[in-house]
Chain A
Amino acid sequence: MFNFSLKKLAVSLGFAALMTPTLALAEYPEKPITMVIPFGAGGSHDLNSRVITSIIPTYLNQAMIVRLTPGAGGQKGTQEVANATADGYTLLFTHNYVDMLQQYVEDLPYDPLEDFIPIARVNYAPMGVVVRADSPYKSFEDLVEAATMDPGSVRMSHSGNWGAQFVPAAQIMRARGIHFNLVPYKGGGPAMQALLAGDAEVTMGFPSTLSGQIESGAIRVLATAGAERMYDDVPTFAEVGVEGDIGFMHRVLVAPKGTPQEAVDKLTEAFAALVEDTTFTRMMGRLNETVDLMDGESYQKLREEQAHAYEDLVKALTSQ
């Protein structure tokens, strides 16, 4: 038994050694950093994080480990990080809806603005409204018409209540005065599968999870977020009458407030170097993801603006 446990120890040390190319230095980071993702497997955060954590050890001299902690619409993972020691070893990779919108919908065991500071906005992704290629809805207006004629007859799969797909869907419904039958799934992957399987007529998705399906001709995009057209023949949200900052998901890394400045600086530096790394940009390119780094300070301003906008939205939605 003693031999046995020693072997186990030796093996785990071996694994640890594999993970730490350079031995721990006396300064941050001395040990692997955990990146908590409050969402399920296979979503775009998951994919993005796999690329980030594979390259960033080069600039941190430490591994960054992804931990998926889904639950309660992102609250579980967020709460875990809010409760974690603010030492720079537990970070949260989240998005603007969970970060800034949720506080107006539920009683949270944490205060996002008070308990977290942003480290880096890695990129932002515009959302697209998609249907199957064989769908009778050829354009966004077809979809609106169907939802107007028979409210609730159009089934839309989304990644979870008050999530990255639910919120823009609600905003579209509000802007156009229509109603979809919203069916929650456990993340964007299962929601897309529901569309392909015919369990839903429409869903939303990001280019990162859509490229394969679009190229193979399995799905059709009806509208995309943003001021500029993503595809030449597909209108933007603004063009179809859904104006405003709608359908953008900012992927942002935050840390518990009180994280030592030394750690924040080191991470900011590492991310600045990361986005210059050609391997990183190439891998992100393969995912059809953009890289638009914004440092913590600049994103904090954006974050505060988001908070006001979402507060208005939720008030309008829930007062109906």
Chain B
Amino acid sequence: MLEQFITGFGMALRLDTFMLMGAGLFGGMLVGALPGFTTLMAMAILLPISFFLEPIVGIPFLLGVYKGGIFGGSIPAILVSMPGTGAAVATSRDGYKLTQQGKSRKALDMALFSSVFGDMSSDIFTMLMIFPIAYLVMQFGPPELFAVLLLSLVIIAATSTQNPVKSLIMMLFGLWLSFIGTDPLGGVERFTFGIFDLKSGIPLLPMLIGVFAIPEIAGVVMRNEGARKLATLVGERLTFAEYRRCFKTICRSTVIGTGIGTIPGLGQVVAAMMGYSAAKNASDHPETFGEGELEGIAAAEAANNAVNGPTMVPLLTLGIPGDNVTAILLGAFVAQGLRPGPQLFEEQGATVFAILIAMVFANIMFLAIGYLSIPFFSRIVQIKTSVLIPIVIMFAFAGTFVFRSDNFDLLMLVAFGIFGLVAKAGKFDVMPMVMGFILGPPMEYAFGQTMAMGNGATLSFLFEERLGAIGVLIATPLIGLTLWRRMRAVVSG
């Protein structure tokens, strides 16, 4: 093993690997920053290129696109409150507040540093613990997934706003919205009212842009700030003291994110929200979260990036991809004659380690690339709003349309924009709604699978075979209640 590791280390040190990885990181960042263009799309498009490169060049190139893309998504989230993916939602709330306070540079720096730290720690951890993680992954089936998703929703509802009742209402509304469309298990249509476009459900992207970006755009327009700028300052760079203040949070989020990454089917959205909620709960000033708290960005970004390491494990050890991104990587591996699976380490151990080591180098490189491009990005907010706002609106609509070229999505964007404005006026937080909407379908699917596994005797099945899931289910209300009490104390005190 050690021998393979050392050989792999030598293999990774190649100029062309680094050059293409750098290109991938930079390109991924730009694509990720454009709403509507997902990292996944960029990877799928670039996949064939990797087929004709050597494994140790082509796969790090794709990994670069992936890593760059995730950070790229936080750029519009921070600067114009336009999260393009669920994973950037938690970042956008404190990030945009910081932009308005003239601290966008600090916000972007914090996003970069905590992303890279979370990602790198989880990569190294994964490399060292790949086989234990592979074992752990196997312990999670549908019942556990359901229990953990339910727990996540309860934690989000209990900690997300200053009024847990309102956030619970919004979350239930989000869950209901996720039911619209064709039932994922039985294929029965629900709440579609015979409307053809609703059959495949409400799309996520228009909802995200609609409820997060449109109200902010409208706010600027309604305040008639045409001649002014979104923020007069972009502020100083992040100081080491600020980073150190958040370091505990970053570490906590990294652990949470890595843990969530080992559970197949959870992913970055849950990680970001759990990291954020945990930081808020641990903080002695939870009221500053959501009002421009650097720690909030650190918590969300470290957690959602820390997911990346462990999600590679089922791919590398079993040859089973857990999500779309790893499926694309599987394609890249296979076409190179590297068949991920149990024998991969025996036959191609050095190459696999070389790829994993390249992942670690990619993080270091990205630190430099990101740090140098942040001043350039952060200047966007200094454009006069009379110029910037029309451009942002264009990006909102174009991004929504480009995702799957569907006019129906534009209608949804407007509808959710109006909804977001109304919710804002009524001081309802839209985040729990979005989380309910995102986490509802996987939770429902896991529920249906659990029922099927139980074969008519679900409870006895759970008690006989799935005590872990039962434990989480029992603990859920207790955890929820504790967090609720704490948040209520903060609100009233």
Residues of A participating in the B interface, judged by any CB pair closer than 8 Å = 1, 4-5, 7-8, 11-12, 15, 18-19, 41-42, 46-47, 50-51, 53-54, 57, 63, 65-68, 71-73, 75-76, 79-80, 106, 109, 152, 155, 161-162, 181-186, 189-190, 192-194, 196-199, 209, 211-213, 215-216, 218, 283, 286-287
11 A–B contact pairs at CB < 8 A? A54-B48, A65-B44, A75-B182, A79-B200, A152-B455, A183-B142, A184-B452, A189-B321, A197-B140, A215-B343, A216-B341
Is B323 part of the contact surface with A, judged by Cβ < 8 Å? yes
Give the chain A neighbours of B343 by CB distance below 8 A.
212, 215-216
Shortest Cβ gap from B423 to chain A (Å)? 28
Tell me whether A181 and B342 are in contact (CB under 8 A).
no
Q: If A72-B187, A161-B187 touch, does A190 touch B453 (CB 8 Å cutoff)?
A: no
Closest to A191 in B: B320
Is B319 part of the contact surface with A, judged by Cβ < 8 Å? yes
**Bound state CA distance, A212 and B340, in angstroms?**
8
Partner of B44, one of A66, A72, A213: A66
Tell me whether B455 and A184 are in contact (CB under 8 A).
no
**Bound state CA distance, A79 and B198, in angstroms?**
13
Residues of B participating in the A interface, judged by any CB pair closer than 8 Å = 27, 30-31, 33-34, 42, 44-49, 51, 138-142, 182, 184-187, 196, 199-201, 264, 314, 318-321, 323-324, 326-328, 330-331, 334-335, 337, 339-344, 376-377, 380, 383, 387-388, 391, 404, 445, 448-449, 452-453, 455-456
Tell me whether A287 and B334 are in contact (CB under 8 A).
yes
Q: If A196-B138, A213-B342, A216-B343 touch, does A109 touch B196 (CB 8 Å cutoff)?
A: yes
**Bound state CA distance, A18 and B48, in angstroms?**
11
Give the chain B neighbours of A41 by CB distance below 8 A.
321, 323-324, 326-328
Give the chain A neighbours of B318 by CB distance below 8 A.
193, 196, 213
Binding site secondary structure of chain B? helix
Binding site secondary structure of chain A? helix
Give the chain A neighbours of B331 by CB distance below 8 A.
46-47, 50
Tell me whether B452 and A183 are in contact (CB under 8 A).
yes
Tell me whether B264 and A193 are in contact (CB under 8 A).
yes
Tell me whether B44 and A71 are in contact (CB under 8 A).
no
**Bound state CA distance, A161 and B449, in angstroms?**
12
What are the 7 closest A-B residue pairs judged by CB atoms, nearest first? Answer: A212-B341, A41-B327, A50-B331, A216-B342, A42-B321, A42-B327, A72-B182
Tell me whether A1 and B455 are in contact (CB under 8 A).
no
Closest to A3 in B: B376
**Bound state CA distance, A128 and B254, in angstroms?**
41
Tell me whether B334 and A286 are in contact (CB under 8 A).
yes
**Bound state CA distance, A149 and B21, in angstroms?**
58
Shortest Cβ gap from A235 to chain B (Å)? 26
Give the chain B neighbours of A211 by CB distance below 8 A.
339
Shortest Cβ gap from A104 to chain B (Å)? 13
- Given contacts A41-B321, A161-B186, 15 further A-B pairs with CB under 8 A are A1-B383, A4-B377, A7-B30, A19-B45, A42-B320, A63-B48, A67-B44, A71-B201, A72-B199, A75-B182, A76-B200, A193-B138, A199-B142, A212-B339, A283-B335
Give the chain A neighbours of B139 by CB distance below 8 A.
197
Give the chain B neighbours of A155 by CB distance below 8 A.
453, 455
Tell me whether B51 and A54 are in contact (CB under 8 A).
yes
**Bound state CA distance, A8 and B264, in angstroms?**
34
Give the chain B neighbours of A212 by CB distance below 8 A.
319, 339-344
